[in-house]
Structure 1
Amino acid sequence: MKSHLISLLIAALGAFSAAIAAAETPNVSVDQKQYALLEKHCTDCHAGPDAEAGFRIDDLSLRIADIPTAARWQKVLNSLNSGEMPPKEEAQLDKAAKANFLEHLASVMVDARSLLSDQKGVITMRRLNRREYRNSLRELLGVEINVNDLPADTSAKAFDTVGSNLYMSSTQFEQYLRLGRESLNEAFERQAARAVEKKLQFEAEEITPKVAKFIEYQVDARTRAENWMKEVDEAAARPENAAAIEAIKAGPLGNHRDILYRNWKQIDGAPAPETFGFQTKENNADKALAASRPFHLPYHRYYMEQPAIESGAYLAASTEHPSVLDSATINLLVPFSWPVGEYVVRFRVAATEHAPPDRRFIEFGINPRTQQAISVHEVTGTMDAPQIIELRLTMTRANGERANRSLFLREKGTRDNWEQALRVAGQGRKENDGIGQKFALWVDWMEIERIPDMDQPQPPGIAAIARLPLDDKAPAPKLEELRDAFQQFAEEAFRGDLPSPQYVDQLVQIYANYRDLGEKHSDALKDTLAIVLSSPMFLYHSEPRESAEPRLLTERELANRLAYFLWGSPPDEELQQLADAGKLQDRQVLEAQINRLLDDPRSHDFVDAFSYQWLGLERLDFFQVNLQHHPRFDNSTRQAASREIYETVERLFQDDGPLTDLLSCDYVVINGVLANYYGIEDVHGDDYRRVSLPPDSPRGGLLGMAAVHLMGSNGDTTNPVERGAWVLRKLLHDPPPPAPANVPQLARLAGKPLTTQQRLIAHQEEPQCASCHRKIDPIGFGLENFDAVGNWRTEDSYQAMDDNGKPVKDGKVTWQIDPAGKLHNGPSFADYQELRSVIAAEDEAFARGMTEALIEYALGRPVGFTDQPLIEDVLKQARQKKYAVRSFVQALVQSKEFHSK
């Protein structure tokens, strides 16, 4: 039956397809002056019908009007970049002239690829991307579904809204069927538990008796271990065992105690190692650990000396083994029987007198085995006045599995990975007379409470079928009741489009078939509704186009396009009512709706998704930070730094601030974690807020953010080339062309103690490198005062390594950072502040880049040559409002292109 359903869905998709209009060929040309360089050096061999290798230069059109011509010019670019041409025996091009030519031709080829792919405004029929699909299920059914198993929608060249990337396969239909059924399972479970109240609290002092008991184990095990070793030594001293002892000492271990532990029968009269707790079933793992790790005893005794262990627990550091002190992580086990739904988590905490600023943060998460915290919170309470931290938690079927029903608290940065845990533990012992890390945080209790939602309106998809029984206790519904419910559900799922009577009849028949096969009513109902959630009318944006000529969107289509643009989800009731009343074409009404949508919390999806793709933030996930060199940049700090970018853009949209603040401004949008990391005083709490900066601060704008500089590194050392290229691409709207295939490697410089700048200058010896790096490197060097994780510094160092990865003797060099430079064909700058001012002066280029990105994201197609009038119009309107960020959105949504298909 499943294959039959998939065939029906694929057939429906074919009937749902729209025509794609043909595009005219745009115009882009190679400069005649640059072409003269080829004529001078290449026509002797590459001209006329007998041209070398059949490749002619003399008939190569300067105008790149089609793909074959572009391919020929690309071959010229590749040959020069590779050094293949001119041949070594021929006269070579002047290096400066070659670099200029390569820069020009590479730029022309970038333009050619863009212009030749111009869709002339045609929007390819596109399905919901993963974000939109997840959000649509949330709005329809009130559920949160993990959609990570669906194919990724993003690429390095296009937004996740671009239709040409959003393909569909039969395999995906099966995934959508499964996810649809999963979402219905969760929705039905939530409905059945709407009135359920649950509450559970864990008193942290329950840990204290365990610590006391562990001390007993350790003392007992140590005594027995000492007695065992005494007996072993006595047995080894007996004359009859002399030969055996000599053989043992000559062996690889050379110690009779080690050998006895592994094979105690080698020496007559020696006691079995099991007698002090290593292997017998009567002795548990704690005893074995105590015997093998006797140095843990002082840390446990130190814990028992703390003043508040009878009313709470101190968070220790996760060290060589979690049970060294079983309070490194406070766990609250949630019964598996508890239903999905909305919960509140609370915990009462305080910072001790031993808590420095860096250690006043606590992490919260689900399932400590994953080591990934969900959130981090600043602890401002004291032992005299603890604070209660409260947060919301949605318990879903995905995060509510039996293995994950463990909520945990731990000190920030103590368990990002095993190496980090060892470093923290070792540093703590070093600072506390070898005992163990002093305790910075104290937990009184932790609780979780389920929030009943009987008073909340039902999601529209559930309301559509509310008259049907959702379980198997009531009598089965009549076919007419099913038909009405399926029609209403499909209409909600299809975002206002009415399903045909034949489609509804098919759903009724499918339900009946499932029942005939022996399924219970609830299962047959879910399986049938899952078909609706896998239909093209739900999975695709419905904007049919019957001819190649553009047409205006209907009001319903306009409402859908606007809502998915600014919310990534379907329109709400107010937007639908305005569309049905024919009022959305009114400019004032539309302007008000744009502002309303941007004011709504659902606009977070737009801000996050657009910022991530527009600013190319995917590199934030590329590298693990070397915590040995950058110990303060733990995972929670990394998450906060990444969030700074989104929160800053969010604040701009909420305040309708100027886009140019992202280039340079006198404030940051941070929380307590980042304030501590940046060294900004008097900023506390978990909420991000605007904080003013002193005039000489390097922060303010994107270039002052730690996450931006992390992207321009490998997690350990900086990468000036990547930083410079990012600034050119994202801030100056002047992207460098792709690197040629034969980029000379820096391996030849291995083992040489050179500064970063000296290495990159050596990299530029070849013209094919210089043509790009003369634009990139000055910017990258100007940002070198920021280390790999965005800390300010004034000097750097490099340790040369040999082929075996060992440090080279006298191979370390340290230097003062010199950020001064000059942009290629641009102004000079003396330091980072001047560089930032030079970049901020290019506000028009930055606004243009953002405008093009916004058009592509909103319309779901690449920006092309024919979009220049739209780009200029949006820029003009934004310029009149001093680049206020909402003016870009308003101008785009009011344009005829946004209203057309």
Structure 2
Amino acid sequence: MRAYLFAFCVLACGCADDPAPAPAQSDACLSVDPGPSPIRRMTRFEYNNTVRDLLGDTTSPAAGFGAEEEALGFNNNAANLVTSSTLAEKYMLAAEGISARVTEKLSRILPCDPAHIGEEPCAREFIDRFGARAYRRPLAPGEADMLYAVFAYGRTIHDFREGIRMVIEAALQSPHFLYRVEFGAPNRPSDGIVRLNNWEIASRLSYLLWGTMPDDELFAAAEAGLLQTRKEISAQARRMLDDPKARDVTLEFHRQWLDYDRIASATKDPVLFPTWSSDLKNAMKKETERFIDAVIFEESGDLGALLTASYSYLSPELAEFYGVTPPSGSGFERVELDPGERAGLLTMGSLLTINAHSNQTSPVHRGKLVREAFLCDIMPPPPPDAVIVVPEPDPDSTARERFAEHSKNPACAGCHQLMDPLGFGFENYDPIGRFRAEENGAPIDASGNIVDSDINGEFIGAVELAHKLTGSEDVRGCYTKQWFRYASGRGETRADDCSMAVLKERFKATGGNIKELLVALTQTDAFLYRKAGGAQ
């Protein structure tokens, strides 16, 4: 039977055309160009969310699929989401398991009672409804018939339940479930641009803002043809950002962008840092997530607050670590921090810890974080013949003195002059992120310098650096670019110049409001259109 289902899953398919949004009209960008348009496969995050919302399965079956390969800092880059034979087998096994679990009690998933209206009519009603939700568009007549043939086979060899189970198993292996297959309608016959139809826009909205399939309201809007104008799409985006699922996506984006998950495997010298523990690591991660979530959805909502807020959300344990008065409750509550010591994400224990060595700080890693994550620079690897030697801790010197040797090596100086002077500004924070004024009895020199940016100049300490970054057009542009990469599943190209310009202008006009940036993403050519002929 597996061979039968596999053959079913690779059949070609189609979907109906709908009118689509009009092209963007601005002085600089009068023609539509969506840039490259790769077909998008679900990530593990999206797969788990989708089977939860489609069938109520909360077992996170995609955990066994294996990690996606990252590109440009994110794991949803379409070029890397290749379905190997191993992954195809895991999809098959997951489909078998999910279909078996959800059909244990058929009344939870059936829209009808087969004993009342008959097995065939009930099966067809289920197939029409389930198939449309699984494929995120109405089924074509041939598709419904194929799924019914699967049901009929299962019914013949066993019973009604087995027929329904096999329909679910087959649908979960279909390219129309695993991929966002988009056909749309021609924009103009000669330009090779495809306007996405209402159902395709609904899926783009739901996977961008929720990381899952559309809800009933989005499906209803698509069916009514109410996802054709930018105004209609914007209204849906704003509604969706008020849903808790939007919080999951913003956390997923920031988790990948800043890579703070690495704290789970961060090790520190137990002699130097006896308080370092799994509980402390978990608390640091939760602080970062609670802070990001609160800034975007409960506080001012802007990038500046992410970078410069002098408050955080701490547990009693973490408050003790930071040396501040603990919150009254046992959970993570808003706590004011010393504005001379802490400012937003860059001075949080999680980011400081993962960008340090086990027994000393790392100006290189901390400077590289700023360069790559916040300025979108790409730091090349060391020369092939370079001998990488991390200086050993020395009680008679500071980390700044030890790492300054990089700038004296001609083979290393070029890149390290971009990173190290930034990283030296973080020397007030030890390898686990505690604030310090001295190292080995010597006063900390936290002076730094930033070059090759729109905010070149000297600064003292990470707090001052954070405030400089907040005023940077380069930083706002980089944050916009990072979201574009995540939203599009690819890197930006020259064809995206107009879309990027509109996004940057909107982000600046709204004071760096992150939710407004997400709405703006849904208004770009890259979101509303695609190139004809599949991945390009």
The interval holding the TM-score normalised by the smaller chain is 0.7 to 0.9
2:81 counterpart letter in structure 1: L
CA contact (8 A) 1:123 1:163 kept: no
Identity across the alignment (%):
28
Alignment equivalent of 1:865, drawn from 467, 491, 494: 494
Alignment correspondent of 1:255: none
1:410-809 to 2 correspondence within 5 Å?
462-464=109-111, 466-468=112-114, 478-501=119-142, 503-517=143-157, 519-544=158-183, 549-655=192-298, 657-696=301-340, 698-746=341-389, 754-797=397-440
CA contact (8 A) 1:746 1:759 kept: no
Alignment equivalent of 1:140, drawn from 54, 61, 64: 54
TM-score when scaled to structure 2?
0.85
Q: Please tell me whether residue 2 in structure 1 is matched to residue 2 in structure 2.
A: yes
CA distance in 2, matches of 1:191, 1:625: 52
Alignment correspondent of 2:78: 163
Task: After TM superposition, give the deviation of residue 622 of structure 1 in Å.
Answer: 4.3
CA contact (8 A) 2:421 2:448 kept: yes
CA distance in 1, matches of 2:393, 2:461: 29
1:332-481 to 2 correspondence within 5 Å?
462-464=109-111, 466-468=112-114, 478-481=119-122
Q: Please tell me whether residue 894 in structure 1 is matched to residue 528 in structure 2.
A: no
CA contact (8 A) 1:668 1:699 kept: no
Change (3 A) 1:643 1:751: closer
Change (3 A) 1:527 1:576: closer
Change (3 A) 1:544 1:628: farther
C-alpha offsets along residues 756-788 of structure 1, whole Å, 9 cap, x if unaligned? 233323333321200011121112121111111
1:129 counterpart letter in structure 2: T
- For 1:505, what is the secondary structure of its paired residue? helix
C-alpha offsets along residues 724-758 of structure 1, whole Å, 9 cap, x if unaligned? 10011122333433332222332797999654233
CA contact (8 A) 2:106 2:161 kept: no
Change (3 A) 1:565 1:749: closer
1:725 counterpart letter in structure 2: K
Task: After TM superposition, give the deviation of residue 710 of structure 1 in Å.
Answer: 1.1
CA contact (8 A) 2:353 2:431 kept: yes
1:490 counterpart letter in structure 2: G
CA contact (8 A) 1:6 1:174 kept: no
Alignment equivalent of 1:835, drawn from 461, 465, 473: 465
Change (3 A) 1:497 1:882: same
Alignment equivalent of 2:100, drawn from 172, 175, 185: 185
- For 1:746, what is the secondary structure of its paired residue? coil
Alignment correspondent of 1:879: 508
TM-score when scaled to structure 1?
0.52
**Bigger Rg, structure 1 or 2:** 1
Change (3 A) 1:760 1:543: same
1:894 counterpart letter in structure 2: Q
Alignment correspondent of 1:131: 45
CA contact (8 A) 2:110 2:126 kept: no
CA distance in 1, matches of 2:243, 2:285: 22
- Greater Cα offset, 712-721 or 872-881: 712-721
C-alpha offsets along residues 621-655 of structure 1, whole Å, 9 cap, x if unaligned? 44234444333332222122112222222223214
CA distance in 1, matches of 2:239, 2:322: 35
CA contact (8 A) 1:598 1:653 kept: no
Alignment correspondent of 1:315: none
- For 1:551, what is the secondary structure of its paired residue? strand
CA distance in 1, matches of 2:392, 2:133: 64
Task: After TM superposition, give the deviation of residue 144 of structure 1 in Å.
Answer: 0.9
Change (3 A) 1:584 1:688: farther
1:664 counterpart letter in structure 2: T
CA contact (8 A) 1:10 1:170 kept: no
Higher relative contact order (CA 8 A, sep 6+): 2
CA distance in 1, matches of 2:312, 2:406: 36
Change (3 A) 1:504 1:748: closer
CA contact (8 A) 1:559 1:576 kept: yes
1:507 counterpart letter in structure 2: L
CA distance in 1, matches of 2:153, 2:226: 44
CA distance in 2, matches of 1:573, 1:176: 26
- For 2:439, what is the secondary structure of its paired residue? strand
| Uncovered stretches (5+) of structure 1, i.e. residues with no partner | 17-118, 193-457, 470-474, 798-813
- For 2:329, what is the secondary structure of its paired residue? coil
CA distance in 2, matches of 1:822, 1:160: 32
Change (3 A) 1:160 1:497: farther
- For 2:335, what is the secondary structure of its paired residue? strand
C-alpha offsets along residues 229-284 of structure 1, whole Å, 9 cap, x if unaligned? xxxxxxxxxxxxxxxxxxxxxxxxxxxxxxxxxxxxxxxxxxxxxxxxxxxxxxxx
C-alpha offsets along residues 496-551 of structure 1, whole Å, 9 cap, x if unaligned? 331433x333333334434554x454344323321111111111112126887122
Task: After TM superposition, give the deviation of residue 874 of structure 1 in Å.
Answer: 1.2
Alignment equivalent of 1:817, drawn from 424, 433, 444: 444
Change (3 A) 1:757 1:676: closer
Task: After TM superposition, give the deviation of residue 893 of structure 1 in Å.
Answer: 1.2
Task: After TM superposition, give the deviation of residue 158 of structure 1 in Å.
Answer: 5.0
Alignment correspondent of 1:111: none
CA contact (8 A) 1:6 1:173 kept: no
- Between the two proteins, the alignment pairs up a number of residues equal to 504
Change (3 A) 1:734 1:509: closer
Task: After TM superposition, give the deviation of residue 564 of structure 1 in Å.
Answer: 0.8
RMSD: 3.0
Change (3 A) 1:751 1:785: closer
CA contact (8 A) 1:494 1:537 kept: yes
Change (3 A) 1:637 1:622: closer
CA distance in 2, matches of 1:752, 1:817: 14
Alignment correspondent of 2:27: none
1:668 counterpart letter in structure 2: S
| Uncovered stretches (5+) of structure 2, i.e. residues with no partner | 16-32, 531-536
CA contact (8 A) 1:638 1:707 kept: yes
1:2 counterpart letter in structure 2: R
- Greater Cα offset, 726-735 or 766-775: 726-735
CA distance in 2, matches of 1:687, 1:516: 55
Task: After TM superposition, give the deviation of residue 476 of structure 1 in Å.
Answer: 12
Task: After TM superposition, give the deviation of residue 588 of structure 1 in Å.
Answer: 4.1
CA distance in 2, matches of 1:631, 1:476: 68
CA distance in 1, matches of 2:310, 2:4: 62
1:485 counterpart letter in structure 2: F
Change (3 A) 1:190 1:773: farther
CA contact (8 A) 2:345 2:351 kept: yes
CA contact (8 A) 1:637 1:674 kept: yes
C-alpha offsets along residues 205-252 of structure 1, whole Å, 9 cap, x if unaligned? xxxxxxxxxxxxxxxxxxxxxxxxxxxxxxxxxxxxxxxxxxxxxxxx
